[in-house]
Amino acid sequence: MDALPPIIDSVAGNGGNNLVIDTGSATLIAEKATQVGIGAPRGIAVGPEGSVYFSTPDNAVRRLDRDGVLYRFAGRAGGEGFAGDGELAIQALLYRPQRLAVGPDGSVYIADQLNNRLRKVRPDGVIESIDVQLNQPYDVAVGKDGAIYTVERYTVGLSGSLRSRLLRIDTDNTVTLIASPPSGSYLNAVAVGHDGSIYTSYWDNGTQIRRIDPTGTISTTQFVPNIFLPNVGIKASVIATDMEIDAEGRIYTLDGNCHRIWRIDPDGSVFLLAGNRAEKCQGGSFTGDGGPAAAATLSQPSAIALTPNDELLIADAGSGRVRRISTAAPGLALGDILLPSADGAEVYIFNADGKHLRTLDALTGALLYEFSYTSYGSTRLLTQIVDGDGNVTTLERNDKGTLVAFVSPYGIRTAFNIDDNGYLSSLSNPVGETVTFTYTEDGLLTGLVDPKQNAYTFGYDDVGRLLWDENPRGGVQELAKSISGENDSYTVTRTSAVGRVTNYSVQQTSPGEEKHFVNTFPNGTQSSAIDGRSGNQHSVLLPGGTEVNWLEVPDPRFGMQAPLVRQQRVSTPSGLQSVTNFQRTVTLADPNDPLSLTARSETMTVNGQIYSSVYDTGTKQMIATSPEGREIISELDEMGRVVRLEVVGLAPTTVTYDEWGRLAQVVEGTGETARVTTIAYRADGYVDTITDPLQRVVRFGYDAAGRIISQVMPDARVIGFAYDANGNLQSVIPPGRPAHDFTFTPVDQLAGYVPPDVGIGDTATAYAYDLDGALTQINRPDGQQVLFNYDDS
């Protein structure tokens, strides 16, 4: 599995229609809601404590608690009509209950369609009618102020033309008409946003979603039939037969006709959460439970509801189930994907379009980076990166979205030039030192010229594979690929500038079998690696004969996305062995949330010697214990940085950071004997001064590219530094002394050292290299030469 995407499963119903006929006063239906038939659920709503309410075709409303137990809630299943106001809701009669809503006080509202009423079940379980005459109410929503919004859907005339109205019913039962579409258009749903905005969806040669904000301003989003959706990659009709709005203003829409669920972000991006991905509507089906929601199919979904944990519940009428789409971790939007780093230290959050949204610290859950995007036409491009301390890196773009520059949090600007084909043609640092690039028409890099005008060139074969590259000294390395066998076995041969040959082979005896990787070096020695069929057993044979074998196992939080090395065995040709075993256990507040870590314990055993580490999120302490029992206690801050380090029995070290997250102070020890080192910064973000425990201050100066050009010592002596255009250190100027100069080859290897003139003649040292970059000669100031010779390997 490549990521942790939203998962779909069922929380009620087994697909059967063997509905229970309600009798008596008993409320329990089933201890496990997924083991009984519930028919075709119609409406669905969620209470603030997580209880789920859904209406069924047998004129009843059921309640599902957080433990998966199913109860009667309202209506006598199997009966129909109007009765029971002022009594317990389970004794009442309903007549085709449709959509549901939960009010701010926990009351449940029922669109009792054929009774032409809105029914309300109070928290004490008693049912009553809203004292307003309606015409077949179909949908209902309730605002935080207690106002009720309902969509009526009814037919008129002999032709049975569908008409609809949206009404607001205030707490004093005053009715206000909000919308009444003309014939041929009709309302589908109503929802109330977290900010009090009213959302409606209706059909008028395409879906229109209208938002009326708290000031009364109306905005409309129009989705024409078969619109091309770049985030989905298909043309499709976005139809909203039901809607839900989350706290961030994202709109979740249900298309009951095409068996799909969409997510519409505030920036207008559209993502397909679940359902068929074909351009044309297809018949619904029930597939995908237990797997990624994006790969699942739905069957005549009739309504959706968001839980307090931002899970999306679906009344999947055709499958006879209530289904749930849940994220990989709290705080993610439905459709977002969680992906850990290979070592499990960080977690990356992507949206359904593959855009990187956030990076989190896997240990503390802290936000490390957040990425923002801006729309340029139909494309959204990265424009800002904010780290966990609030430092902002800006990507400047022109009005077409072309990248112009990077601007650091402290205003330092690196400029970019993009050619007409959209490829990077040059970049310049603040000093104006520029690297230029050239390409083929297909975008393959053919040339690079560094700031000193040294040129690198590249050549390719007809399918775009690199064949050779030449550096500014004329050194050329060549690459060639040969296919061997019929099972994707191949060898890549690299020939260096002086003719040394290295072969890199990948061998596989048959598809699905283990792969052997063999590197043959110019001296004839080899290193090899074996990748097992299971993907978790690995072996490497080093050129000297040492063999390393290791076994990878799933991480307890992230599985094989961040595998652990459970055992590593190193065997030398002489028979010596080193065996390391590693084990990690975690405690999660929520077993389904890999970021709900409360504790982590790690044990490493090296040839019988045990090293252990325990981390507790409550104290933010990590305690490492050596085989001899010595303890090192590390305390972390919210960002996962060490703020206190103590070897038990020795003086502690404390570390503080400034408001931008930079190291500001290190204190070794406590009290009067504490040793304090302080770091101060310039406005451009570079270190300005370092003050040691004796209050001696060292100050630094920089050029515009951030390179140190001066170091002022505590006694005011100044050391100077200079650089060439490629950033190589060109000279060091001691305090009050002449410069020590350095020269470099066109490929930035040290070519010469020229000390200050002391009146004894030439005191320079020169260095020479072959075309592979190996040192061949040193010419010393005394006239002596040191020569280096290499064999053919």
pLDDT, one tens digit per residue, over 183-198 is 888 899 999 999 999 9
* CA 448 to the chain's CA centroid: 33
Q: Dig out the tokens for 433 from the structure.
A: 């030192």
Taking only the tens place, the pLDDT of each residue in 273-298 is 888 766 667 778 899 998 888 889 99
How many Å apart are CA 532 and CA 559, to the nearest integer?
A: 18
What dihedral angle (degrees, nearest 10) is formed by the CA atoms of 342, 591, 333, 637? -60
Band of residue 610 on the pLDDT scale cut at 50, 70, 90: very high
Band of residue 534 on the pLDDT scale cut at 50, 70, 90: low
- Residues 6 or more apart from 182 whose CB is under 8 A from it? none
pLDDT at 1 > cutoff 50 = no
Mean pLDDT of 49-67: 94
pLDDT at 83 > cutoff 70 = yes
How many Å apart are CA 227 and CA 593, to the nearest integer?
A: 36
570-601 burial, b if ≥16 CB within 10 A, otherwise e? bbeeeeeeeebbbebebebeeeebbbbbeebe
- DSSP line for 521-580: -TTS-EEEEEE-TTSSEEEEE-TTS-EEEEEEEEETTTEEEEEEEEEEEEE-TTS-EEEE
How many Å apart are CA 473 and CA 751, to the nearest integer?
A: 13
Contact assessment for residue 719 and residue 713, using Cβ atoms and an 8 Å cutoff: yes
Q: Give percent of the chain with pLDDT exceeding 70.
A: 94
Which of these, 144, 167, 68, 82, lies nearest to 117 by C-alpha position?
A: 82
Mean pLDDT of 534-556: 87
Q: In the predicted model, what is the mean pLDDT of the chain?
A: 92
User: Pick the residue with more confidence: 379 or 666?
Assistant: 666
Q: Please, where are the H alpha helices in 715-770?
A: none
Taking only the tens place, the pLDDT of each residue in 721-752 is 999 999 999 999 999 999 999 999 999 999 99
How many Å apart are CA 539 and CA 655, to the nearest integer?
A: 41
The full 3-state SS of 101-150, as one line of letters, equals EECCCCCEEEEEHHHCEEEEECCCCEEEECCCCCCCEEEEEECCCCCEEE
Residue 272's pLDDT is what? Answer: 85
Q: What type of residue is 139?
A: D
How many Å apart are CA 100 and CA 142, to the nearest integer?
A: 10
CATH annotation of 7-338: 2.120.10.30
